[in-house]
Structure 1
Amino acid sequence: MVSIKRTNSKDKDFVSLVAELNAFLAIMDGREHEFYNQFNQIEDIRHVVVAYVDEKPVSCGAIKAFDADSMEVKRMFTLEAYRGKGIAGRVLTELETWTQELALSKCVLETGKRLPDAIRLYTKNGYQQIPNYGQYVGMENSVCFEKLLNKK
C-alpha cells in the first residue's frame, strides 16, 4: 500500500532519498553534476512529499517558491525497484495540489535530457516544454517544463 506524507526538508526519509538521488545524478550528469548540484540544496524547503510502500520511503519530491504565481518542482526521485508503478505520479500530483492550496497556479521544473523516464513522467502528467529559464539558459542537457493548474 502506498501512503503519502507531507513534510519538510529536515525529514530523515527525504534526506536519505535525496542522497540516493544525488548519487544517481552524479553518474547521469557526469562533468556537469557540480553545476546542477549547486541549485539543488535542500536546506529550508518547507514543502516536501515522501511516498511510502509498506512504511518504506521509496519516492520524494518538493516544491519551492519560483515567482509570484509559481512553485518549482525539485528533488523528484523514486528508488529504482519502485519505478513504473505510478508512485512518482502520485508524488507529483500531491505537489501540484499543495501548490493550488497555496493559491498559486503554475508549477515549473527543470530536468535533464539524459533522464527520459523523468521527461515521460512530466509530459504524461500534462507538463509542456518551455524555454530554459534562469540558470538553465544555455545548458545543453537541461529541458524545462511548466504546467498551469486550476486555482482552488
Structure 2
Amino acid sequence: MPTPDSPLLLPVVDEDGAPFWEYAAAGELRVQSCAAPGCGELRFPPRPCCPHCQSFDSEWRAMSGRGRIWSYVLPHPPLLPAYAEQAPYNAVVVELSDAPHIRLVGNVVAGPDARLDSVDPGRLRIGAAVRAVFCRVTPDVTMVRWLLER
C-alpha cells in the first residue's frame, strides 16, 4: 500500500518473508529453503513449514539473480496516480534460472533506479533473459527489479 515515503505499492513484510527483504536491502537475492537433512527444497513465497517434508527448519539460499521472463502484462488503466505517471510500464513474472519452479514478480527497468516506464514494452518477450537489480524505494524497502540481458 502507498505510504508517505512512497506513492508506489510496497510489500507487507511478515515474519516469514522478512529475511527476503533484508537480503534484498543488502543487494542479495535469496530464497528460503528447507534445512532438514535430506530435503533442501526451495520455496517461495516464504512460509514456516516445508510443503515437502513438513520440517520447520529453514535457511536462505543465495540465487544467481538470473532468470527468464515467464509472463508479463502492460497494466491498463493504472490504478494509482504514481503508476499512471509512469505508464506504459510492465509487470513481469520471472522464472529463476537456479530454481525454475520459483517465480518472482517485478518490473523490467533500464537500471536499478530507473522509472518503471524506462524499457520500451516492445522489447519484452516471453523467455527473455533477465538479471536482478535492487532499488531502494524507501529508507526501509528495497525492491527486486530486472534488467534485460543483451
TM class, shorter-length: under 0.3
Greater Cα radius of gyration, structure 1 or 2 = 2
The normalised TM-score by structure 1 is: 0.27
